[in-house]
Amino acid sequence: MARINNTARWRPVGAALSLLLLASTAARAALSVLAETPDWRELDVYQHTLTAAEFRARLPLYSNDGALARYLTFSDRGVEIFADQDKTRKLWELRWAAAPSAVPDFPPGPAADRDRPLAGLNICLDPGHIGGDWADMEERHFRIRGGPWVDEAALNFITCQWIEQGLRAAGAEVCWTRQLGVPATPRRPADFTSPAITLMWRQDANKAARQSPGNLRKLLQWYQELVFYRIAEIQARAATVRELRPDLTLCIHYNALGWSKRGPRLYSGVNRIVIFTHGSYLASELALDDMKFDLFRKLLEHAGGTERRVADAIAEQVVAVWQYPPERYRAGLAGVAPAGRTPYVWSRNLLANRLYPGPVVFVEGPFMDDALTYRRIIAGDYAGEREIAGRNYRSIYREYADIVVRGVLAAYQKTQHH
């Protein structure tokens, strides 16, 4: 990776950067960083597919605080969506269907087959993060007091390999968004100077303004890396999912409580589980045109029912096997909302579940910095059971994978009984 390391050469660039920062606010398009101007005509395939009542029933999942309504004008004919709250720039109009569509919330599962209950389903696995040479940059890589390094991407990858085996055994086809340690995007942090300036300006303007040129360079580099692994990487994976058109995508992660400046440490009994479905756009996000487009695309493709069904079914397996409590969010916290029958399922607008087409279920597993989880992680992947802290445990990777596979099986088998 090309790092900027010539401070002397940087000084005049520092001044130019300040000018760029000013220019970027003046010319700021109402788009997310790296997003392209949406082509709303892509959504015309959904014309006349929903009644006004059906549209209104789906809306709260995506805009639970009602902020989207400020950009909408309803009529007998349809609903117009505007770029601005003054409604001077119309983006698109959805025309109502004459009669209810009766589209099921959860499409019928594949034909029941006792030995291969998932036959006919194509499931995409998205192990979180890149890992390998990129693990340190991603800040999902740590060691405790000289112990072995823990790289979340590697844990996600091993877990997904076992999920693949379980899903294939049940008859599903399985595809992947990426390989381990290899970015899906061909671009690199040095390619993202201009979007990194925009992002830094939007998120960190005050901090950026106070920095010495040397520190401003470091801060900008941090943002270039963030644009690379957080945005460009997910965009590249989204392109893969668009090509593969799976029936379901599973994003698999391990969680962490996080660490202070003094470095990582272990906690006791902190595991909590959260499973995300898509929704709960922030009012500030809805000011951006691409967010409004993505919201409409998600609402119209109607992935919410499948996401909720699969997320709840995985949560039931979490309860049965791990008994870890659900993640708790502060009441009224913007950007998340309860979205399932179980308290583990929350809707949230993540880049992955927004950009990947079709149903996406995002599982945040056990906490890597929980003392027992950490010991199970560094014990590696093994068959059978091993004694850890005075008790016998299976490999945490296989146990996590089984929870996910059994959840997917339960979600689709339920529909077969109906």
Interface with Zn ion (CB under 5 A) = 128, 253
**CB 274, min distance to Zn ion, A:** 12
Comparison of 197 and 396: residue with beta carbon closer to Zn ion:
396
Considering only CA atoms, which of 112, 55, 95 is closest in space to residue 304? 55
Comparison of 43 and 155: residue with beta carbon closer to Zn ion:
155
Tell me, letter by letter, the H, E, C secondary structure of 17-84. Answer: HHHHHHHHHHCCCCCCCCCCCCCHHHHHHHCCCCCHHHHHHHHHHHCCCCHHHHHEEECCCEEEEECC
Letter string b/e over residues 136-173, b meaning 16 or more CB atoms within 10 A of that residue's CB: ebbbbbbebeeeeebbbbbbbbbbbbbbbebbeebebb
Q: Which residue is nearest to Zn ion (CB)?
A: 253
Q: Are strands 173-176 and 345-348 parallel, antiparallel or unpaired?
A: unpaired
**CB 183, min distance to Zn ion, A:** 15
Comparison of 128 and 279: residue with beta carbon closer to Zn ion:
128
**CB 70, min distance to Zn ion, A:** 33
Task: Give the three-state DSSP class for 88.
Answer: coil
Cβ atoms 291, 32 nearer than 8 A: yes
Strand partners, 179: 182
**CB 152, min distance to Zn ion, A:** 5
- CB within 8 A of 235, min separation 6: which ones? 34, 185, 355
Comparison of 118 and 273: residue with beta carbon closer to Zn ion:
273
Q: Which helix (H) or strand (E) holds 14?
A: helix 7-26
**CB 129, min distance to Zn ion, A:** 6
Comparison of 189 and 366: residue with beta carbon closer to Zn ion:
366
Q: Which helix (H) or strand (E) holds 90?
A: strand 90-95
The residue type found at 199 is L
Considering only CA atoms, which of 190, 186, 123 is closest in space to residue 160? 123
Crossing angle of helices 7-26/193-210, nearest 10°?
100
Comparison of 176 and 293: residue with beta carbon closer to Zn ion:
176
DSSP structural state of residue 97: P
Comparison of 253 and 309: residue with beta carbon closer to Zn ion:
253
**CB 347, min distance to Zn ion, A:** 18
Residue with tokens 């082509």: 39
Round to whole Å and give the CA distance between 229 and 352. 12
**CB 234, min distance to Zn ion, A:** 12
Comparison of 253 and 292: residue with beta carbon closer to Zn ion:
253
- CB within 8 A of 372, min separation 6: which ones? 269, 388, 389
**CB 366, min distance to Zn ion, A:** 12
Strand partners, 348: 278, 336
Comparison of 92 and 229: residue with beta carbon closer to Zn ion:
229
Q: In degrees rounded to 5, what are phi and psi of residue 277?
A: -110, 175
Comparison of 273 and 299: residue with beta carbon closer to Zn ion:
273
**CB 315, min distance to Zn ion, A:** 18
Comparison of 128 and 366: residue with beta carbon closer to Zn ion:
128
